[in-house]
Chains A and B, each alone.
Chain A
């Protein structure tokens, strides 16, 4: 064992190193239990299959496809995220590990760790669902760069919004319903922006979709920065 009291060495740790420790712990736990992944992917895949079989590429006129496909894609992504991303905080409460975590980690590090975990889940969701949606629906995208930027920036905003709401509802009794009810108005502006951006990427007339990407990036930055300030208040009693 090292000499002296270890407590004197805590000054050397950074928020980022603590956040990474929480992120990797959550990933390791998720890899072994697959609670959140199963919930998100089951919802996403069944919705995608239902949409592709019931609508397909031939039921919608070519002129309406860019808008309606963008709507369907973001409905699948947002509601899949809502089905599982609350687990990041809820599982701490359900497993009675919240107090030990409160005693061990600084609030901002906990928020960042949970955010990284939720962003990892969202990245996996988007990597599976977006290409599958494009293939199954025969989704033609004229500006792939803009489309990817929109999906990525929208995903980061989605992760930021759902993480802070998950922290807020973790200690409530009706968590599931509360998570959707609180998240939806918070995510609606982002969802509308992302739908517009994806529609413009599909139409591809010009690069006029970038304002939507900028709005999504600004939304994500504001959401994450504000959450970092607000989270200690939520995390405390």
Chain B
């Protein structure tokens, strides 16, 4: 139903190319992994795909039943987790999810949010302010936020960041679940996370 087409993507800062000529297509059920050294542009590539950063050249197109989705709307079809992202620390975990439900226009359903909280292992601390969360708990909540609208495209930038072994199981389950009907792109240096990908783009080359 949904598909992603990345064509000749290039990002340049001053005179340095972060990455050049990145092209691939992604279809439902597929997982793409992006690896590379620190500073090779993995996170920037994900931000470009999400529509948060404009590429220097090239195109990112998302299709729904063969019709292209405009860039400004593409963001809403994307769920993204990144170490640089934060959620609202002055709100509780459940209030954060409530806000993102409402602002995404999917309607707030407390029960559905509690189910997601259970899936990521935070059901017992749903009413705790996020500022009191550990870094691993915050990472889990970021995953919940990204899954809230069941996005066709899931972008995971270092998804295992700060997570313990149980947290990594949660990530594995999320990727397996997404594989059933959606697309995923994982950017990481961790061997275990890169191995989730059916295909790998190495930006170090």
Contact = CB atoms under 8 A, between A and B. Distances in A.
B72 A99 contact: no
Interface stretch (B18-26, B30-38, B76-84, B184-192): B76-84
Nearest to B115: A1
B52 A237 contact: yes
B12 to A, nearest CB: 14
Contacts, number: 102
Q: Give the secondary structure class of A's interface.
A: helix
Interface residues of A, number: 36
Contacts of B109: 1-2
A29 B90 contact: yes
Contact of A22 (B53, B85, B103): B103
A99 B142 CA distance: 12
A104 B84 CA distance: 16
Interface in B101-133: 102-107, 109, 111-112, 115
Nearest to A235: B72
Contacts of A5: 150, 152, 181
Contacts of B90: 28-29, 32-33
Given A25-B99, A237-B53, A6 B150 contact: yes
A18 B152 contact: no
Contacts of A17: 102, 105
Interface of A: 1-2, 5-7, 9-14, 17-18, 21-22, 25, 28-29, 32-33, 95-97, 99-107, 109, 232, 236-237
